[in-house]
Structure 1
Amino acid sequence: MSIIYKGREIKYIASDLDGTLLFDEGHELEQEVYDVIEKIIDKDVLFIVASGRTYTNELEIMEPLKDKISFIASNGVTCYHKGKQLFDNVIDKEHALKIFELVNEKQLGHLFVSCNSQLYSASKDEKFIHHMNEDLHLYMKLVDDLNEINQPIDKISIFNEDGYQSVLPTLKDGLPDIKVVSSGNQWIDFLPFGVNKGNALKHLLKEVGLELEDGIAFGDQDNDIEMVSEAGIGFGMKSGTPSLKASADEIVTSAIEKLKEIVA
């Protein structure tokens, strides 16, 4: 079995979660989404979740299908296929300290860091802590000072209630040696240069013997640009950022409706 879309045989489908398949910062997909992904898998097409979330959090969201799909986590920092980790990238301590200093000095948002899927934060804001732990199930470990973390850091993020647009220019100007991308309406991620979902997708596909042109990708934020632009067919959400939409081959209002059309 296979999927044919616009005369092209589709061998993989990669999709972002938040703002694409998952909304309101939840931790569970609508049952319809799980059902459509199951149909995709039944047609021998590889389904890949590609999110800014940690691998542990992705596993929770994709629990019903976690053993049947592949994962790109933390915006391409790491990826897993059939439970095997294919690679892992880290942010060097010097760059991490620069990020902490700028964000704290200018009060640009709530900082948290990921170390092999364990999240740490030094925030004292109870509302933010509750949102991360209880609403998003991201379960941060609270520390007195992020500078004291001695584990390898694979991703640093901030949450800004007023939206990423209000602080993104300041961050990009102040951190020219670090990749700064929006990953949601209120979220910004810091990554080593060269780390993105597109490069992670290339690595994963090479591992399973597929080519970029063999499939399609969905996304909505700047952290999806490389993946959407490099896949065989890239779909951008109508609600997405201007840069993301400019990189897409087609703009869609609903990713799940487009997937239902493709898999029919």
Structure 2
Amino acid sequence: MESPFFRLLGGILVEPIPTWKGRPDEMPVPRLIACDVDGTLLSLGQTQLNPSTIELIKRLREAGIVFAPASGRQRPSLRRLFTPVSNSLPAVAENGTIVTVDDEVIFRATMERALGDEIICAILARDECEALVSGVEVSYLQPKTPEFTELLRDAIKYKIVLVDDATAIPEPYSKIAVYHPDAETEQKYWQQRFGSRCTVAVSGITWIDLMPLGISKATGLKALCTHLGIDPADCLALGDADNDIEMLDFAGDSVAMEHGSAQAKAHAKRTARTADDVFRQILAELDA
């Protein structure tokens, strides 16, 4: 069988606990888990954590393991999503440009203003594209359509500020996102135009994130590890998409979701069906 750990129901052996492929027995339990959110913890269209996921994360934290979401989402969105777990989870937000511990910003990367202005104007001038500019606590938008505002405010539930001129916001740019119906195809245009001056990463089906050059989730995770005094070798990273690749490479151990991108799976040390399966395996090892 795949795993020595089994579920018991009324004292009867019912099925093996799912495990990820390729994990060597001598690999230690991680001190820190950095976990992507959309596509890893949440499936497409899901807006809240499953109760089982909440319980598993709580148990990992009770066992002394630091759990940190690592996402392209804004800080307030992560705070709202993970409130059932804790009000003060450390987090790598905005694809690594903002890192918080105990709700305090310990790292922030910002884009050179002239470059950011150029990117915003290019997004607003391009058909089918909308721009979302990230600050620390809010995201700014100069929407072309009311549907884009409704998507962010009502569906995604972002904390947003509408502006007449997105290049005139009162704080530095942390990240600038392009919204497009087909991000995978559209990414090629933005990579060709700005890839030599900033990091360009697909972040889901409809989002392309542009960050300061060299910034990624790995940058944010490195800042978090340094702040907490945790060796990257003691980290486990979980992800499913190309914007997780640097983080998967950086952490001592890494798991990509089986449904994830080919690139993410190529950079991970192993794969798993779900993040919950990985969490259960870690807890089973702790209880063994």
TM-score (norm 2): 0.85
1:107-158 CA distances to partner (integer Å, 9 max, x unpaired)?
2521111111211111132222211111111132222221222421111102
- Paired residues of 2:233 and 2:252 also in contact (CA < 8 A): yes
- Paired residues of 1:112 and 1:158 also in contact (CA < 8 A): yes
Structure 2 residue 139 is matched with structure 1 residue 113: no
Following the alignment from structure 1 to structure 2, what is the Cα–Cα distance between the partners of residues 165 and 124? 21
1:145-176 CA distances to partner (integer Å, 9 max, x unpaired)?
21222421111102212x21221111111112
Structure 2 residue 176 is matched with structure 1 residue 156: yes
Partner of 1:201: 221
User: Which one-letter code corresponds to 1:164 in the other structure?
Assistant: A
Partner of 2:185: 166
Per the alignment, in what secondary structure is the counterpart of residue 122 of structure 2?
helix
Following the alignment from structure 1 to structure 2, what is the Cα–Cα distance between the partners of residues 94 and 26? 37
Greater radius of gyration (CA): 2
Partner of 1:259: 279
* 1:182 CA displacement: 0.7
**In angstroms, what is the RMSD of aligned CA positions?**
1.8
Structure 2 residue 46 is matched with structure 1 residue 46: no
- Paired residues of 1:41 and 1:68 also in contact (CA < 8 A): no
Partner of 1:128: 148
Per the alignment, in what secondary structure is the counterpart of residue 87 of structure 1?
strand
1:200-249 CA distances to partner (integer Å, 9 max, x unpaired)?
11121121121111121101122211111111111112222222222111
Per the alignment, in what secondary structure is the counterpart of residue 65 of structure 1?
coil
| Structure-to-structure mapping, 1:57-96, within 5 angstroms | 57-67=77-87, 69-96=89-116
Following the alignment from structure 1 to structure 2, what is the Cα–Cα distance between the partners of residues 96 and 108? 19
Partner of 1:145: 165
Match of 1:245 among 242, 261, 265: 265
Following the alignment from structure 2 to structure 1, what is the Cα–Cα distance between the partners of residues 137 and 69? 16
1:12-47 CA distances to partner (integer Å, 9 max, x unpaired)?
111010110012344421111100001101111111
Following the alignment from structure 1 to structure 2, what is the Cα–Cα distance between the partners of residues 184 and 24? 9
Gaps of 5+ in 2: 1-22
Partner of 1:9: 29
Following the alignment from structure 2 to structure 1, what is the Cα–Cα distance between the partners of residues 204 and 29? 31
* 1:5 CA displacement: 7.7
- Paired residues of 2:134 and 2:175 also in contact (CA < 8 A): yes
Instruction: Count the aligned residue pairs.
Output: 260
Partner of 1:181: 201
Partner of 2:11: none
Following the alignment from structure 1 to structure 2, what is the Cα–Cα distance between the partners of residues 116 and 19? 24
Gaps of 5+ in 1: none
Following the alignment from structure 2 to structure 1, what is the Cα–Cα distance between the partners of residues 114 and 153? 28
Change (3 A) 1:169 1:108: farther
User: Which one-letter code corresponds to 2:267 in the other structure?
Assistant: S
Partner of 1:28: 48
Identity of aligned residues (%): 26
1:70-96 CA distances to partner (integer Å, 9 max, x unpaired)?
111111111111223211111111111
Following the alignment from structure 2 to structure 1, what is the Cα–Cα distance between the partners of residues 105 and 148? 31
Change (3 A) 1:83 1:143: closer
Change (3 A) 1:166 1:9: closer
* 1:194 CA displacement: 2.2
- Paired residues of 1:13 and 1:45 also in contact (CA < 8 A): yes
TM-score (norm 1): 0.92
- Paired residues of 2:198 and 2:214 also in contact (CA < 8 A): no
